Structure 1
Amino acid sequence: MQGGKNLSFFKSMAEGFPVVPNSFAQQPFPTPSPFSISIASTGWSSRPSIHLCDLLLRFLAFLFSFVSALSLVIISPKKKDKASPGSSFGDYTELLYCFTAVMLAFAYSLFQLFKGILEIADKGTLMSDKVSDFTSFIFDQLLVYLLVSSSSVAIPAIKQIEVLSPLWKASIISVSFSFATFLVIAICALLSGYKLCKRIIW
């Protein structure tokens, strides 16, 4: 008798609660939230900032290398005076080496600046991103070595030049800007290495 009452009680309880259909089977796949879209877009929004930073560094390297080369060229006599040797930077192998390294940095920075402007302006690309990362890393390392070695060997040569002469002043300016170019391209080399590691490992 008591069992019959319990059965009728549970039956009435079951009838009191409506049957809920399976919500997981009937509901469609939820659309992504605006938060997930913003996370996915952060990589694209951070990419132009890296490019702009690299472009600014390339411009500084271009400017410093230009000033370094121009300071040596502008004081060199158009016609070499045989009676006064040592009046041109070409008479010193160390200064000639410094001038060559700076001119290579000037040409390379001009190319990188032109390539960066094309990429940011969306006017096309000169090379793929993978090839660009590899070549930038290799040439940045090479120019860093050339600039620091040329600046270091030019210092003893400056001591051999007559103090307060035009060539002495120009050599001081040239070596100073050559070292500044080295620092800028060294930072560019770090950025190139970061982008290359990000492409390979991450």
Structure 2
Amino acid sequence: MSGVIVSPVAGYLPAQPPLPTPSPFSFSVASTRWSSRPPVQTASLLLRFLALLFSFGSAFSLVALPSTNSKLKKYPGLLYCFTANILSVIYAAYQIFKNICDIAHRGICISDKASDYISFFFDQLAGYVLVSASSVAVPSIKQMEIRSSVWNASVASVCLSFASFIVYVLAAFLSGYKLCKRIMW
């Protein structure tokens, strides 16, 4: 022998190239299970559902009481809050529908690039409209008699509207992340 010592284990193990680590943002066309989705898409769907729930609750609390309909005409701040929440419900329902279609058919409704830009813009717009509606409704609430049923419904509506605003802020961060990921990487 020439003085080189060879390990007996090295003779039995074939040299294997290292396996590539899959990206957490990769998508397998063959699989449509929830577990194969990136967490960003699942989080986006959850945020859209929460925005729909909070906005619907806010709008519903303003019109649930029979005496509230006349109060909406008397207080334009409450009418603006109601309108903003209805628009938020429509936008959240559209985003939920689009996300479910993306999960089922992988982006046939709108291209991913256009969808990222649209979501980023409209999430910020919806957040702005909701926070402005909440702030405009507060002076209307201060003019009402305290602890009446309309006052309670209006306070609940403003609280749910602000919660919807917080959800849209998180959705805007997520949309911004997806947009930056598309532009940068």
1:12-161 equivalence runs, <5 A: 33=17, 35-36=19-20, 39-44=21-26, 48-77=38-67, 87-122=70-105, 125-161=108-144
When the two structures are superposed, what TM-score results if normalisation uses the length of structure 1?
Answer: 0.74
| Counterpart for residue 198 of structure 1 | 181
CA RMSD for the aligned pairs?
Answer: 2.4
User: Any idea what SS the aligned residue of 2:108 has?
Assistant: coil
- Using the TM superposition, give the Cα deviation of residue 156 of structure 1 relative to its aligned residue in structure 2, in angstroms: 1.1
State the number of aligned residues: 165
- Using the TM superposition, give the Cα deviation of residue 44 of structure 1 relative to its aligned residue in structure 2, in angstroms: 1.4
- Using the TM superposition, give the Cα deviation of residue 123 of structure 1 relative to its aligned residue in structure 2, in angstroms: 6.9
When the two structures are superposed, what TM-score results if normalisation uses the length of structure 2?
Answer: 0.81
Q: Which one has the largest radius of gyration? A: 1
| Counterpart for residue 12 of structure 2 | none
| In the alignment, structure 1 residue 179 sits paired with structure 2 residue 162 | yes
Change (3 A) 1:50 1:157: same
| Counterpart for residue 8 of structure 2 | none
User: Any idea what SS the aligned residue of 2:19 has?
Assistant: helix
Q: Deviation string for 1:10-57 (max 9, x for gaps)?
A: xxxxxxx9xxxxxxxxxxxxx984521xx2444316852111111000
Q: Which runs of 4+ in 1 moved over 6 A?
A: none
Give the Cα–Cα distance (whole angstroms) in 1 for the partners of residues 165 and 61 of structure 2: 17
Gaps of at least 5 residues in structure 1 are 1-16, 18-30, 81-86
Give the Cα–Cα distance (whole angstroms) in 2 for the partners of residues 199 and 47 of structure 1: 17
Matched-pair contact (CA < 8 Å) for 1:137–1:189: yes
Identity value in percent: 52
